[in-house]
Amino acid sequence: MSQSTAQAGTVAGPGASGAPADATMRAGVYRGAREVRVEEVPRPVIGDGEVLIRVAACGICGTDIKKIQYGFLPPPQIFGHEMAGTVAAVGAGVTAWRPGDRVVSFHHVPCGDCFYCARDLHSQCATYKKVGVTAGFTPAGGGFAEYVRVMPWIAARGMVAIPPDVTFDEATFVEPVNTCLKCVRKGRVAPGEVVLVIGQGPIGLLLMLLARLEGATVLTTDLMPERRARSLQLGADAALDPAAGGVRQALAARTSGRGADVVLVAVPSPALVAEALALARPGGRVVLFAHNDPQMTMSVPAAPIGIEEKELLGSYSASIDLQAESARLVFERRLPVADLVSHRFPLARIAEALDLAARPDGHSMKVVIAP
């Protein structure tokens, strides 16, 4: 991993406050497919209505990994959106926050007034699609840096205070828990139903835990024996090896032969979509959580949907309607998120951290960067 100096733009406005315009910081800068370098970049300068956060912890998301591994976006960028930290400065007009506050910041917030917001499709709102947190360059979250600049619409509606007894590592889960809760609700998981979660990485485990909180019986699958063991340890009713077969039989035994009421797919494999449809009962629901690769294509048989009336649904990103609930689940420790953190790396070792997150082994789970 090399060290270098980059020219990244800062944004200042009338009444800008915080760090001097010539102050610098370290950041993990994406320079192309599979290349992230620790560089010295300008520290963001905030303007009216904005907040500067000193990042304490940022989880590595599967979406970050896809962008970095496959070079989906043009460099340079600073990724990282599962972030928690401390308010370092506030711009003119900010009254809800002050320096020293411990906070989580979402990076997307919808307008609340458009066609899509009126239909609770917040992630399709044009305002939602604008990233409102940056460490420089094109706004991309910025949590893989020492400081981030939170823009006005996020500072007003997308920040959450962290209770004093909650660690920053735990707080980084507020955003991913929100996305998983949205997925479970999209699948309309109900008490007494049988749910299958495919994949037991950090996201799959959260989906399992949340489906159980909804009152469902939850079976899981994963190729790694260590992840199956962790799934059982955290409450799954059964954890199955898909390579050994027997998943269909296990579901049949619990559903009088029908199949799963809901299948939640937490592995980004096109081949698993047809398999998930086959494992769902007639009239059941399949929700794709991990299939957000813009270049991915998939092929599924028509009969399960057209004849057996199975629903194939997508769930993408977070929902502002679940912002308070997801924070409460984390802060009240209704979910054992601290147990999901397996590795914590300093920013200087971000390349190692990203490599582990991209190629997990049986002992790795959630990987967190501490800038």
Q: Which residues in the chain are classed under CATH 3.40.50.720? A: 188-314
Residue 9 has pLDDT above 60, yes or no: no
Rounded to an integer, the average pLDDT of 25-50 is 97
Rounded Cα distance, 329 and 324, in Å = 9
- Is pLDDT of 260 > 60? yes
Is the pLDDT at 335 greater than 50, yes or no? yes
- Examine the pLDDT at 1 and tell me if it is beyond 70: no
pLDDT digits over 177-187, tens only? 999 999 999 99
More confident residue, 187 or 18: 187
The pLDDT confidence band at residue 20, using thresholds 50, 70 and 90, is low
Where does CATH 3.90.180.10 sit in the chain? 3-176+319-370
Mean pLDDT of 25-45: 97
Confidence class of residue 21 from pLDDT cuts 50, 70 and 90? low
What does the pLDDT look like over 275-306, one tens digit per residue? Answer: 999 999 999 999 999 988 888 899 999 999 99
List residues bridging with 160 in a β-sheet. 104
Q: What is the mean pLDDT of the segment spanning 341-348?
A: 98
**How is residue 29 annotated by DSSP?**
E
H or E stretch including 58? strand 51-59
Strands 217-221 and 238-240: parallel
Is residue 208 predicted with pLDDT exceeding 50?
yes
In this predicted structure, the answer to whether residue 4 has a pLDDT above a threshold of 80 is no
**Torsion angle of alpha carbons 84, 315, 208, 277, nearest 10°?**
-160
User: Do 232 and 300 touch, CB atoms closer than 8 A?
Assistant: no
In whole angstroms, give the CA distance from residue 288 to residue 286. Answer: 7
Rounded CA separation 244/83 (Å) = 38
Give the pair of three-digit tokens for residue 49.
């209505």
Give residue for tokens 């506030």: 90
Question: How confident is the model over 195-213, as a mean pLDDT?
Answer: 98
Arithmetic mean of pLDDT, 117-140: 97
Residue 311 and residue 189 in contact, taking contact as beta carbons nearer than 8 Å:
no
Closest by Cα among 296, 362, 266 to 70 = 296
Position 155 pLDDT exceeds 60: yes
> Do residues 136 and 145 lie in contact, with contact meaning Cβ atoms separated by under 8 Å?
yes
Give this prediction's pTM.
0.93
Spatial strand order of the sheet with 35-42 comes to 3-5, 35-42, 24-32
Q: What is the mean pLDDT of the chain?
A: 93
pLDDT of 293 reads 80
**Chosen CATH of 188-314 out of 3.40.50.620, 3.90.580.10, 3.40.50.720, 3.40.50.2300:** 3.40.50.720
> CA geometry: angle at 107 spanning 103 and 112, to 5°?
105
Cβ contact 73:31 at 8 Å: no
Question: Is the pLDDT confidence value at 248 over 80?
Answer: yes
The architecture that CATH gives domain 3-176+319-370 is: Alpha-Beta Complex (3.90)
**Averaged over 184-197, what is the pLDDT?**
98
- Return left, alpha or beta for 201; rule: phi > 0 is left, psi -120 to 50 is alpha, else beta: beta
Secondary structure class of 244 (helix, strand, coil): helix
- Stretch 77-103: mean pLDDT, rounded? 98
Instruction: Give me the residues paired with residue 341 across strands.
Output: 366
